[in-house]
Amino acid sequence: MKKVSIKQAIIDAIEMSEPAMGRHMNFLIKKAKYIEKAIGSNLAHPVKASNVKVTGCELDIPDDCFAVMAVLRGSYADQCNAAFLSHGTILTVEYDEDIDPPETFTWIPLEVPYIRRTLWREYGNSIHLVDQFKDEYLTLIYQKIETDPEGMWLVSESHIDAIMKFLIHQYAKKFQFKKMMSEKMVRDNYLQQLAGYERDYSIAVRSARADDAREFPYRTEGY
């Protein structure tokens, strides 16, 4: 499966729409990541733990974060490798080469101070916390994804068309609505155009999922 930068879908969308679309890169990146998650992927997303020193109530999400799983108070990433997260419990793996023969141990830290999900929320490329912190380390546990040198996600090449068409739809829905309200566009034409964009990206998303299924047939064979 060939992987390409998600930036390619953004470039294609701008070329297919209008140059003014390029002024809203943060919006486009956010929407591109959203639809990539919605399409689903056969690519592996291993779990990673990262320490972040926080002052205030906001922390930046790493570029290679596909999905945030949990936020913990304290520094755990330096002690061990976060290997699995299930039912609110983090299992960690530690390799001891000083014993003969060397062994790998799986253990559960006692009283792990999780920050409840209701006390933090994702906004774009950052996490906003309800509580204030002063030079305190938090451990961010997330599924990671490969990135290009610019920090943009690498996605399946078969997803690029669907992402591009979704971006065109979302751009038209948000920004061309202003044109319609200013009477530069007839309302009926706007709604008809928007429905066409929605149909195009819906078909492209189904096609991308079908391509994934063909490349990994075990998904359709009930295994």
The residue whose two tokens read 């972040």 is: 52
Which two three-digit tokens encode residue 207? 């096609």
pTM: predicted TM-score of the whole model, two decimal places: 0.75
103 closest CA partner among 111, 91, 114, 95:
95
Q: Are 161 and 208 in contact (CB under 8 A)?
A: yes
**88 three-state secondary structure:** coil
Pairing of the two strands 47-60 and 65-73: unpaired
- What is the per-residue pLDDT for 83? 47
Which two three-digit tokens encode residue 181? 């309200």
Which two three-digit tokens encode residue 57? 């109530």
Which two three-digit tokens encode residue 81? 């490798």
Q: Are 165 and 89 in contact (CB under 8 A)?
A: no
- What is the per-residue pLDDT for 109? 57
Q: Are 151 and 63 in contact (CB under 8 A)?
A: yes
40 closest CA partner among 195, 208, 188, 201:
208
Length of the chain: 223
- What is the per-residue pLDDT for 192? 86
The residue whose two tokens read 């948000």 is: 174
DSSP E strands, 21-87: 47-60, 65-73, 81-86
Which two three-digit tokens encode residue 180? 């319609």
The DSSP call for residue 48 is: E
44 closest CA partner among 158, 142, 140, 145:
145
Phi, psi for residue 136 in degrees, rounded to 5: -115, 140
**175 three-state secondary structure:** helix
| Per-residue pLDDT in tens (0 to 9) along the chain, 223 residues | 789 999 999 999 999 988 889 999 999 999 999 999 999 876 667 778 888 899 999 999 999 999 888 888 887 765 544 544 544 555 555 556 676 666 655 555 555 677 888 899 998 889 999 999 999 999 888 888 999 999 999 999 999 999 999 999 999 988 876 666 556 556 777 788 889 999 999 999 999 999 888 776 554 444 3
The DSSP call for residue 115 is: P
Which two three-digit tokens encode residue 60? 């930046």
